[in-house]
Amino acid sequence: MDTILLRHVKNNNSEKVEILLKKGADVNAKNDKGNALLHIAVWSNAHEVAEILLNNGADIEARNDREQTALHSAVLANTQMAVLLLEQGADINAKNKNGDTPLHQAAAILELEDVTRTAEVLLKYGADINARNNFGITPLIRAVEQNASDTVKLLINYKDKTGQTALHQAVEKDDAETVKLLIKYGINIDATDSDEATALHLAAENNAKATALILLDNGAKINIKDKDGDTPLHRAAGQNDVDTVKLLLAYGADINAEDKYGNTPLYIAAQQNDVDTVKLLLAYGADINAEDEDGYTPLYKAARRNASDIVKLLLEHGADINAKDKNGNTPLHAAAFKNASDIVKLLFDTVDTIELLAAQQNASDIVKLLLEHRADINAEDEDGNTPLHQAAFKNASDIVKLLLEHGANINAKDKYGFTPLHKATWQNAADTVEVLISFKDETGKTALHHAAEKDDAETVDILIKYGININVTDSTGATALHLAAKNNAKATALILLDNGAKINIKDKDGYTPLHKATRQNASDIVKLLVNLKDETGKTALHHAVEKDDAETVKLLLAHGADINAEDKYGNTSLHRALQQNVSDIVEVLINYKDETGNTALHHAVKENDSAIVEVLLAHGADINAEDKYGFTP
């Protein structure tokens, strides 16, 4: 080690030290005892030099031959030096060769005036108050050995930033020997931390049975409450620790003590799904129907948490299945709200889902309950039956209506492909059939609309068979044919058309099924609809002409409408336009060219129909119009 540098460090000559470091002096140089420059600066109370060394990269954790860090040395120097090192991140619990931490060293010193203050600083920075060295000695034992009464008092009464004493910390580690020592030297056994918890609270929640026994044998208050009103028994009941619960009960813990929310230990154990603790508490006489501030019983909470083992146990011990909370809800409500089907099964002692049971028994009040609390309305059994299937099969028309109003899938199929309507028809359940075919959902759609949307031709067929209104409209004015057209559902569209579906009904936006098909490029449907004739032989083009709907006329022509198609009276679309004197339509039809470029006049000439030729010419037909081959009429 550079003796000149060493001298300047000892003399706290910061300027000289800084100059030498800039010239390349080793900031971590050590003497023959392993002490680094930082150790020496600390010993020498050279505060400014220590700062310079640290700012120039001195190893704050450098150890000498006794494995002591600079912080160990600072404890023997002064508090300010210790603070400097701690602020720079020194390891507060670093151990030397004997396993002593800086706090051990502070606890062993008598002659320094501010040693107690240094110990307090170490504690505030997080020193482990119960750390043991290689010989099992804690700082408290060291202070006692040295008769350092002020330090003993500090260590006994000190609370960290969470309000914990050395006793709290020892209990958390289940350090029975330290607990005994602290009690021996007079620590307050019932001191509370910032949560108002005592050491016994911590022992109870940390499964520290041995430590809890020591505390109880030394008079710890067994029913003391923390800031939430929890007793040690509450805390143990929430930890799946039946042994500690049994110990606390043996020492007189209040089994029905309530926290500030009205929860008893049984309530807590039930909430944690701790079967063994619940059994123990019930055996000791816990109130099985105790209510919290909201009126919830242990059964209610267990039902809501889907804790089937606890629910079964509580029911076996006579828990009130009909107990109501402040809002009038029962454990069944709780289970339904969480869709806890296993609990619902237990509560109703059945292997079937409650939805199915309710439907089969026409128990509409139960169905309402489950639906209000978000039960799965389309839950399926092993055969794929939904509650709606079962209700339909039982002709439970009120239940069917209720399920539909809450969103049940009206066309759901079981694993054999049967819908609720199939089930109802098998049973000749006329009331239910009527409900199924007349029901409209919130968008005004019937079962037929839904089946058409999915191109479910089989369901469409059976719905028509049982009398559903084929032209009924939804809230947008759309018929089933509109939806089939929109979705290019050709098979469904054919069935609808064969059974009298009207092709020219307009929805609220003025669109016909053909409009829908053309907008969606549903070519199969367009081909199907564009030249389809009704019972009078009229096509969509005839109807569009009669309604003076030029836009639709153009749309139809653009998609291949036959301008020469005749109705059963021999009238073409042009005839109807002329008869109704709709000049704008006449103009469109007269000048329309088909795919070969032929106009109506071309066709009339080819057919040698002089009457039509005269009419066309009279209405301005272009005598010089050319087809795609350049031929005029």
Which residues have C-beta within 8 Å of that of residue 217, sequence separation ≥ 6? Answer: none
Distance CA 341, CA 412 (A): 21
Cβ count near 171 (within 10 Å): 30
Distance CA 537, CA 176 (A): 102
Token pair in block for residue 300: 């209610």
Across-strand partners of 99?
Answer: none
Distance CA 186, CA 71 (A): 30
Nearest to 49 by CA among 22, 15, 91: 15
Tokens 């006579």 belong to residue: 318
Q: Are the C-beta atoms of 591 and 554 separated by less than 8 Å?
A: no
Q: CA 105, 108, 114, 118 torsion: positive or negative? A: positive
pLDDT, position 594: 75
Distance CA 319, CA 331 (A): 10
Which of left, alpha, beta for 254 (phi over 0: left; psi -120 to 50: alpha)? beta
Which residues have C-beta within 8 Å of that of residue 188, sequence separation ≥ 6? Answer: 157, 165, 167
Which portions of the chain are predicted below pLDDT 50?
Answer: 350-362
CB-neighbour burial class of residue 561 (10 A; exposed 0-12, middle 13-18, buried 19+): buried
- CA of 499: how far to CAs of 413, 438, 515, 525, in Å? 24, 18, 21, 16
- CA of 394: how far to CAs of 14, 17, 216, 412, 452, in Å? 98, 98, 64, 17, 27
Q: 47-55 vs 3-10: helix axis angle to the nearest 10?
A: 130
Distance CA 447, CA 493 (A): 15
Distance CA 185, CA 172 (A): 19
Distance CA 619, CA 613 (A): 10
Helix, strand or coil, per DSSP, at residue 374: coil
DSSP structural state of residue 153: H
pLDDT, position 82: 93
Kind and range of the H or E element at 584? helix 583-591
Which residues have C-beta within 8 Å of that of residue 471, sequence separation ≥ 6? Answer: 479, 481, 500, 501, 502, 505
Distance CA 543, CA 554 (A): 13
Distance CA 527, CA 517 (A): 10
Which residues have C-beta within 8 Å of that of residue 548, sequence separation ≥ 6? Answer: 580, 582, 584, 585
Helix, strand or coil, per DSSP, at residue 163: coil
Tokens 């003993």 belong to residue: 152
Distance CA 60, CA 84 (A): 11
Distance CA 155, CA 107 (A): 9
Q: Which amino acid is at 229?
A: G
What tens digit of pLDDT does each residue of 409-444 get?
998 999 998 999 888 888 888 889 899 989 998 899
Token pair in block for residue 292: 């919290």
Token pair in block for residue 528: 């199907």
Cβ count near 534 (within 10 Å): 17
pLDDT, position 239: 94
Distance CA 552, CA 554 (A): 5
Token pair in block for residue 552: 């639709």
Distance CA 123, CA 132 (A): 15
Q: Are the C-beta atoms of 594 and 563 separated by less than 8 Å?
A: yes
pLDDT, position 482: 94
Helix, strand or coil, per DSSP, at residue 165: coil
pLDDT, position 144: 79
What tens digit of pLDDT does each residue of 523-571 get?
788 878 888 787 788 887 888 888 888 888 888 888 788 887 888 988 8
Domains and CATH numbers, the chain: 352-430 (1.25.40.20), 440-532 (1.25.40.20), 558-619 (no CATH)
